A and B are shown apart, each in its own frame.
Chain A
Amino acid sequence: MNVRSQVAMVFHLDKCIGCHTCSIACKNVWTDRKGTEYMWWNNVETKPGTGYPTAWEDQEKFSGGWEVVDGELRLRSTGRARIVANIFHNPHMPSMDDYYEPWTYDYQELFNAPEGEDQPTAKPLSMVTGEYIDIEAGPNWDDDLGGSPIYAANDPNLEGLSAEQRAQLQAVEQLVFFYFPRICNHCLNPSCVAACPSGALYKRGEDGIVLLDQKRCRAWRACVAACPYKKTFYNWYTGKSEKCILCYPRLETGQAPACFHSCVGRIRYLGVLLYDADRIDEVAKLPDHELVEAHRSLILDPHDPRVIEEARRSGIHDSVIESAQQSPVYKFVKVWKLALPPHIEFRTLPMLFYVPPMSPLQASKDGDLLYHPSGDLFHDIEHSRVPMKFLANLFGAGNEAGVRYALRKQKAVRAHRRALTVGDVDAATAARMLREADTTPEEAEAIYRLTALCTFEERFVIPPMHREEALEMLEDPLTTKQATGFGFLSAPRRGM
């Protein structure tokens, strides 16, 4: 056992309102400069939909993540050896067409236009060329476009749905969408790190944050191709790639990452997971349908004395272990099994997990009239608008069991609370539903509280980062205290 600690995350999709506040919180602080215009370290997608960059989930096109070849894990994009051979050409690299051409407007026209025959207007201007452009794409182009014959209908996660099921998603009876916010997953088995010829990417030992060294990066962009989530981006101005840093300057000072802080849907949770690093390789090679369970099995019980002992041996601070014991992520992922990893079949072992969303009851149509089939207060999860298969393709490598389990448990918790607060679901029925959902009244209460009543401190259990210990390796922290902030800043430069 090799116990490591990781700051891990849960996004509760049932609560996500698709507002994109997270995206802008991030952009304001981190990617509001030259060369980063098109970077959205945090973005939010409408599902079904094609996302950003367009169709990123389609690894036939982008060849991100890992594959198992002859019993060994291999990058789909390229290996370290192969990258040298193909260093100036990576056929799977997304291009500006897959992203978009950032634009602004000729706003000054409104102030400066001389008096004329008609009203001036500020025309769109490319931020790349400075020329007027016709806007054909953006980072959130298919927002709220459920039912779109161009976008929603081409979501890769629709695989396995019959033609009839697909058609239903374009009709009032089953039309639906939900939101899918994404940041870097800070994976246990990060393909971006593995792909870098310069060794510029690394996973921090103390918290598992995957970083891209702005000095060592040599702009090969192998990380861009290798990340199946397309969460590293190339900065054309500095000539360095950049990615989500999980706001480590904030985490290090006990503050939640900006996108977490700003989440008004209150869907985000953050906390430490302890995991067994020795088993990463073994787990990442398992067949698709076993991956969700196996990934969860990597996560260790922070209350287990053996785990605690091993953790200490790995140099994990007691305060971090205590933090792991309070971790909301541990509860959602490991104890309650409500949160699932996205596209586990990419085999990077993401450390961001999603609670799959409930969705409205399907309708049926007869002539001009719409009917709702269910007679129950809370409808059968099999009659929800989002097809189980679709969720399974996103969160279970096609395996529906985990998704069904999570949805059934959410419904049972609701019935339990209904029985307590209203009484039109009787106690016996609620108890039966809890049993059938593999849960207990105590657990249901805990789920309810952390889902509904959660405070900031309950959602984000940020481990102490002990910066003094980290600094100590470099210089005396007292010296740091006295001298910090002095000096001349110099931004990374192309080629350096």
Chain B
Amino acid sequence: MKLKNGNPWIQDEADAGLRSWEEFYRNRWQHDRIVRSTHGVNCTGGCSWQIYVKNGIVTWEMQGLDYPSLEAGLPPYEPRGCQRGISFSWYLYSPLRVKYPYLRGALLDLWREARAQHDDPVAAWKSLVDDEAKRQRWQKARGKGGFRRVDWDTALEIMAAATLHTVKTHGPDRVAGFSPIPAMSMISYASGARFLQLLGGVSLSFYDWYCDLPSASPETWGEQTDVHESADWYNAKLLAVMGSNLNMTRTPDCHFAAEARHNGSKMWVFSPDFNQVAKYADEWVAIHAGQDGAWWMAVDHVLLTELHHQRQVPYFIDYTKRFTDAPLLVELRQDGDHCEAGQLLRANRLAPYAAVENGEWKFLMWDEKSARPRMPMGSVGDRWAKQETGKWNLLLEDGVDREPLDPALTFLGDQTVAVRFDDFGEGTSHRRHVPVRKVALADGTIVTVATVYDLLMAQYGVDRGLAGDYPKGYDDDAPYTPAWQEKYTGMARDVVVRFAREWGRTAELTRGKCTVIIGAGINHWYHGNLMYRAAIHALMFCGCVGVNGGGLAHYVGQEKLAPGESWSAIAFGRDWYPASRLQNAPSWHYVHTDQWRYERSFTDYHTVPQVDRPSFAQGHTMDLQARAVRSGWLPFYPQFERNPLELVRQAEAAGAKSEQEIADWVVEELKARRLRFAIEDPDAPENWPRVWFIWRGNALMASAKGHEYFLKHYLGTHDNSIAQEMAGGSVQDVEWRLPAPTGKMDLVVDLNFRMDTSALYSDLVLPAATWYEKADLNSTDMHSFIHPLSKAVPPCWESKSDWAIFRALAKKVSELAPRHFPAPVKDLVASPLGHDSAAEIAQPAIRDWMAGETEAIPGKTMPALRVVERDLTQLYERYIAFGPLARQNGLNAHGTQYAIDDLYDEAVAHGPTVRVGDLVCPSLDADEQVCDTILKFASVTNGELAWRSYKNMEAKVGLPLAHHAEKNRGARVGYKDLQSQPRRFVNSPMWSGLIENGRAYSPFTYNVESLVPWRTLTGRQHFYLDHPLYLDFGEHLPTYKPRPLPTEYADLRVTEDESRRGTAKLLNYLTPHGKWHIHSTYGDNQRMTTLSRGVEPFWMNDRDAEELGIVDNDWVEVFNDHGVVVTRAAVSARIPRGLAIQYHSPERTYSVPRSPLRGHRRAGGHNSLTRTRLKPNLMAGGYGQFTFHFNYWGPIGCNRDTHVLVRKLPALEW
């Protein structure tokens, strides 16, 4: 039919035959099967994907849309999934796919030779590693090609032989494994972790190493991280987004922010560059890089001035009293003409509380009604009480007589004393008067006390008419006024004031619906914890934490493994053994890659209070690290300079019989200095890590801060670092060996589906199943669903699931073990004092047993020592059986606990089961069985167990809690349920959000609504951190510390400063997360390289580029002492001057030319320019929330303060 108006081009195809060609595209659309899976990639997305299969081949993926809806008034989750996830199917059949096991050729030749001479594979391995020339032969070949395909048997035999040889010769704590972020594919994580822990090996942490752990969260809340699911952003009426590029890194959730704006929410974005999320903002605050802390200090100044002092908003005041440590009393110590803020006053120092249980760990408020200090409940002393139980709650009642308390926030109007406050920005200090009261102690002495609140008022510089160096208004350039922040942030004072007022007004009118979305852009700075705390305080002062739409939404890394209790039992072998070896990776890499050798005292770059008295805030990081280990604050493996198996044999030879006697003998050896910790001499060959398994992560590139040092000291291959060692003479407690060892690792194994940098540099590359080829589980904090990974197709070529690979390795080890370990062996396991245990009240003061300041008591003043009996011939049988210790002890996480004996028996009765000797256990043989076991025994997927867990918590808290589980007590979720539709978690005391009836998850709503304390020293949210290390480092109060300068930071001590000649520029080098990759995954696939530029470019300012004669897409050479990068420039004014971005994280496997500057060698990746530095006060231990837990507490691997030089590449060389 032609149209009447005669446009001949608009017509119906009336002839149906002419349209039969349309089948062409319809045929493409046809498919045979759709299977639900997701991507195990630490993006936090945790998206539900449908994998399309046609003719047995995965053709493409599309997002699943069938998320259960949340409560009315919230936008739905669908669809979730981003440009990276949807490109995944490329990998399956790509030329980058690892299809078979590959072994470094040099090693294969030597191995075959050795095997011809040695019938026993372990003896063969020994013959190779004992011959230094041979060992170096394959070490020097690492990363330089020469791979050869081998069969699985050979691969497994080499791994098993190296493992057994190492256990026998050096100890199991020289066998290590790194795999990050279990939540992204928890069964696959558990595979290697379980193998290692059943063996006695070492599992390395990731969340802290990635610098994703926000130290301020444990500092403030005693919580690793607990954040809003993204739907809750929609409830926020003011969104402050800082250091978090939602479009880039929360791609599937970003819409909630946009949609909130259309619901009347105001959005501020803080970022030095005009980034993707700034596009969304109502106001983009072009803040100077790394100066966000100064901004928030000024915000807090305004909030306190206007809404706490000039006017007291009742909601804010009430909240501050109930839910923070602000009313608690701090002892002031006289120091000359002024006082210094000290520790919180302990309850047992007062006569009425002298005899209370754990009185050293209970604290005081000034009760207005009775006009005296009173002891509230809820502190860590109540938490770990054995007699006076049921008092760990936030009721404002006296812990002895249960009388209601009316705490004073301030003593304003009383006498005042001058207190010293440090101004690190200017390198000076101020005296500000603080109102105080005197308190008589049981021993008769009188002490001066102030409230935390009054100290905060003084620190923030709120002018309340008191004497001292207080600023006289917002325009006074003194800490921490709006005028003061200008010089750091570059933002006019008016903007800060207006922001603070919008913030305060919004919080007042909505009872706390202000949310800070924050991430790596802040957390990765050396002083990231201080920037976080300043922002958190704005939330706490305005009652924003623990309400829907309010609080700190920190997103860096997929840390939330929802079904944590059952998973951790399986992953860490706790179903068989009571002790495991969990190592904080930042310390491990700092020490073992010898990066500590390349710096002097940390005060070269870390500003600390200038005091006359002895202080912990001085010296070399390594000395504090060693102290942290011997004091039980941090773990360190290897533990001792001797094999822990040998150590038990020696103890027994010396007559020790019981576990206690063995431990006692070891303590005596240590005290007599006949036995040393490995940390005291890490470069001694007996203290090197020897065998390293890497799976699910890119340990040698993407996360390897100081990558070139990894190449040098771990691998012994070439590197591009020119840095000089300088710790000699600076370290005191640690042996300084010359020359530094290179090539510590005997064998590096990588499980991978693609040939990434870690695979390329490993000795053995094993073909791993992809995320569309195996059963697994995935959870995230971005939403409240749990997702399956599924086999859309069987593992391609010779690949196997991670679970199957480590199962096979366990079997091979068990087969080879009888010759070397015919009988069970005893292993001495040293562990640090543990978070969520009574060890949180182990060390009221810092006392060094080695210096004779206190007794050496394992588990109290030093690491705990356990003896574990292992049977290596049974490794395989135990690997595939859910062991009896889980039944016996029940399961726990985050301090919760519940029994599972009946469910365990039920699982045994109904199968599938396996036999271990005489025992019948639930089977963990197949991946899917592991999934189901985790789901069956976790509180978030089994409502009965949630109910039991709440019941147990009621006994601790003394308040009703089990009602949170009543409605969902019958909920059960299995693996197949997840495959059919995403399922939401149920309430569980393991997590702090309440999510019944589709309510969006917001952290700490459980604490605020049910009065369950935070897991901190006082049970409250902490403004004040009174640990002696924090006092010495001047971080007890929120503060501003300046950024380390480039030269002091030792990035550019040796490199010639070409900027003086004008041929190069000095730039601050930032590596935020990028658009075309999730870490290093996806970035190398053909889709993502096409949509980007074929390389990860170096983003720089247009005028900076122009001055160097660089135009867009020119090749540039970027360098510092640590290494060199060669890539292309992306030039835009959206990057401010003096700053450069290379998005995390490129591979050095594709499109990387050579560097003329560094010997014409292949240039590196982004981490070739970084190195790791540890912030020493984050090592504190055995003290409330400052107590170690894997991935939870400890120093973090910061890298934002790095500086580089950039120049135009003189000549392109491949």
Contact = CB atoms under 8 A, between A and B. Distances in A.
Interface of A: 2, 14-15, 17-21, 23-25, 27-30, 32, 102-105, 107-108, 110-124, 135-136, 138-141, 143-152, 170-172, 175-179, 188-190, 193-194, 201-206, 211, 213-216, 245, 247-250, 252, 258, 261-266, 277-282, 357-361, 363, 366, 368-372, 375, 377-379, 410, 413-425, 448, 451-456, 470-471, 473-474, 485, 489, 491-492
Contacts of B269: 360
A278 B5 contact: yes
B86 A262 contact: yes
B1068 interface: no
10 contacts: A20-B83, A21-B251, A30-B25, A121-B1149, A194-B9, A213-B18, A214-B21, A263-B79, A453-B259, A473-B16
A286 to B, nearest CB: 15
B89 A422 contact: no
Given A18-B276, A116-B145, A263-B79, A211 B1091 contact: no
A140 B251 contact: no
Contact of A277 (B5, B26, B75, B1112): B5
A87 B285 CA distance: 56
Interface stretch (B646-654, B947-955, B1058-1066, B1125-1133): B1125-1133
A120 B142 CA distance: 11
B278 interface: yes
A327 to B, nearest CB: 20
A372 B63 contact: no
A24 B509 contact: no
A117 B285 CA distance: 49
A107 B94 contact: yes
B491 interface: yes
Contacts of A15: 255, 258-259
B1214 interface: yes
B80 interface: yes
A177 B273 CA distance: 12
Given A136-B1113, A215-B21, A115 B1090 contact: no
B82 A264 contact: yes
Contacts of A120: 144-145, 760
B28 interface: yes
B1134 A213 contact: no
Contacts of A366: 492
A28 B28 CA distance: 11
Contact of B247 (A17, A24, A147, A215): A17
B491 A370 contact: yes
B266 interface: yes
Nearest to B1087: A24
B105 interface: yes
A30 B28 contact: yes
Contacts of A149: 1102, 1131, 1133
Interface in B242-258: 246-247, 251-252, 254-255, 258
B16 A139 contact: no
Contacts of B509: 422-424
Nearest to B6: A281
Given A111-B755, A415-B264, A104 B254 contact: no
B1 interface: yes
Interface stretch (B390-398, B494-502, B665-673, B918-926): B494-502
Contacts of B510: 421-422
Contact of A146 (B147, B265, B274, B492): B274
Q: Which of B6, B17, B96, B486 has the most C-beta atoms of chain A within 10 angstroms of its own C-beta? A: B96
Contacts of A193: 9-10
Contacts of B1090: 102-103, 138-140
A372 B498 contact: yes
Contacts of A471: 16
A438 B3 CA distance: 37
B152 interface: no
A422 B266 CA distance: 11
Given A170-B1102, A369-B491, A417-B264, A19 B1094 contact: no
B498 A375 contact: yes
Given A138-B1094, A147-B1132, A360-B284, A119 B1162 contact: yes
Contacts of A144: 276, 1075, 1132, 1134
Given A117-B144, A146-B1134, A135 B1093 contact: yes
A402 to B, nearest CB: 20
Interface string B1079-1095: 00000101101111111
Given A2-B4, A135-B1093, A176-B274, A420 B264 contact: yes
A392 B13 CA distance: 37
B20 interface: yes
Contact of B1133 (A19, A143, A175): A175
Contacts of B1149: 110, 121-122
A28 B89 contact: yes
B87 A24 contact: yes
A140 B1092 contact: yes
Contacts of B96: 107, 110
Interface residues of B, number: 133
Contacts of A108: 95
Contacts, number: 383
A422 B506 contact: yes
Interface string B1178-1214: 0000000000000000000000000000000000001
Given A249-B29, A371-B495, A261 B79 contact: yes
Contact of A148 (B59, B237, B1112): B1112
B908 interface: no
Contacts of A358: 261
Nearest to A217: B21
B250 to A, nearest CB: 9
Contacts of A141: 1093
A422 B1094 CA distance: 47
Nearest to B8: A194
A213 B506 CA distance: 58
Nearest to A103: B1094
B30 interface: yes
A455 B486 contact: no
Q: Which of B262, B263, B506, B1131 has the most C-beta atoms of chain A within 10 angstroms of its own C-beta? A: B262
A378 B502 CA distance: 11
Contacts of B745: none
A349 B1076 CA distance: 34
Contacts of B18: 213, 216
Contacts of A279: 5
Contacts of A148: 1102, 1112, 1131-1133
A158 to B, nearest CB: 15
A466 to B, nearest CB: 13
B877 interface: no
Contacts of A28: 59-61, 86-87, 89
Contact of B1092 (A25, A143, A359, A448): A143
A118 B1161 contact: yes
A231 to B, nearest CB: 16
A455 B76 contact: yes
A363 B286 contact: yes
B73 interface: yes
A420 B144 CA distance: 65
Contacts of B4: 2, 278
B780 to A, nearest CB: 15
Nearest to B20: A474
B28 A177 contact: no
A359 to B, nearest CB: 7
Contacts of A422: 237, 264, 506, 509-510, 513
A261 B29 CA distance: 14
A247 B60 CA distance: 15
B1150 interface: yes
A40 to B, nearest CB: 9
Nearest to B505: A424
A124 B490 contact: no
A279 B252 CA distance: 42
A262 B509 CA distance: 37
